[in-house]
Amino acid sequence: MGMSIFGSRKKRILVNDVHSHLIPGVDDGAKTLDESISILKDLEGLGFKQVVTTPHIYRDLYPNDESDLKVKYQELSERIKELKLNLELKLAAEYFIDDHFLSRIKNNVELLSFGDRYVLIETSFSTLPLIWDEVIFELKSSGYKPVLAHPERYQYIMDDRSFLERLKMNNIKLQVTAVSLIGAYGVGQQKIARYLVKKKWVDFIGTDLHNRSQIEGLNKTHPNRFYQKALALPLLNYQL
Ligand SMILES: [Fe+2]
């Protein structure tokens, strides 16, 4: 048997992604339909079969709403079909926690979720929002399962790892970003990502892809020991 493109045929690959910014022109991700398609072709080449794309919904920076995103998602999906890509694209969102988001959950707005009503959320990188507990309560009350995007990247978690324990106790799912494990966002972020793998607290792995230049980092991550260890965990990616 020969070696695979990832170095050894025994290496695992991720086939279900749950975090990416591939709807063109709506946030800091892909800018055009062509760019989205190029990235999706790259992902197909890496072995991905299902990609959940999660554009930002963030009132102050990316004021998207669910219905506009659905229209753009349809356009992209049709292009994928025309080109016969061997990959399924699904739409969810990455919700920034702010008062606007809180009021929308309270008003029973149907959120963009993936799998078994998982909702991807993010906070400011510096501080935990004061409304955190309330948002989690409201999400759960509405039947959603909160997933914190890239917990390894928040300063308040790097400063106090015990918060991760609280998250696990509250059954908040944790989505680690693949390239964090090779230090793409910094050393502190890498340490937390590796700590989560060691603790077996990784629920989802995501790529958080925004553009084509990040594909190289994803390639580099594949043979990484911590990444391979993460993929051997009973990830919820495998249940999608
Ligand atoms: Fe993201």
Q: pLDDT by residue (tens digit) across 196-211?
A: 999 999 999 999 999 9
**Does 156 score more than 50 pLDDT?**
yes
Instruction: Give the DSSP H/E element, type plus range, for residue 116.
Output: none
CA of 1 to the centre of ligand 1 (A): 38
CA of 14 to the centre of ligand 1 (A): 18
Per CATH, is 16-239 categorized as 3.40.640.10?
no
Residue 5: the pLDDT is 54
Question: What sign for the dihedral angle of Cα 83, 85, 88, 90?
Answer: negative
**Does 1 score more than 50 pLDDT?**
no
Amino acid at 140: K
CA of 107 to the centre of ligand 1 (A): 25
CA of 21 to the centre of ligand 1 (A): 7
Residue 39: the pLDDT is 97
Cα separation, 176 vs 205, whole angstroms: 5
pTM metric for this prediction? 0.94
CA of 9 to the centre of ligand 1 (A): 30
- Virtual CA dihedral for 206, 49, 11, 29, nearest 10 degrees? -30
* C-alpha separations of 219 from 5, 69, 114, 196, 212 in Å: 10, 29, 25, 21, 12
CA of 56 to the centre of ligand 1 (A): 7
Domain boundary assignment for the chain:
16-239
Residue ranges near ligand 1 (ion) with Cβ within 5 Å? 94, 208
What are the DSSP calls for 158-215, one per residue? HH-THHHHHHHHTT-EEEEEGGGGGTTT-HHHHHHHHHHHHTT---EEE--B-SGGGH
CA of 7 to the centre of ligand 1 (A): 28
Residue 167: the pLDDT is 98
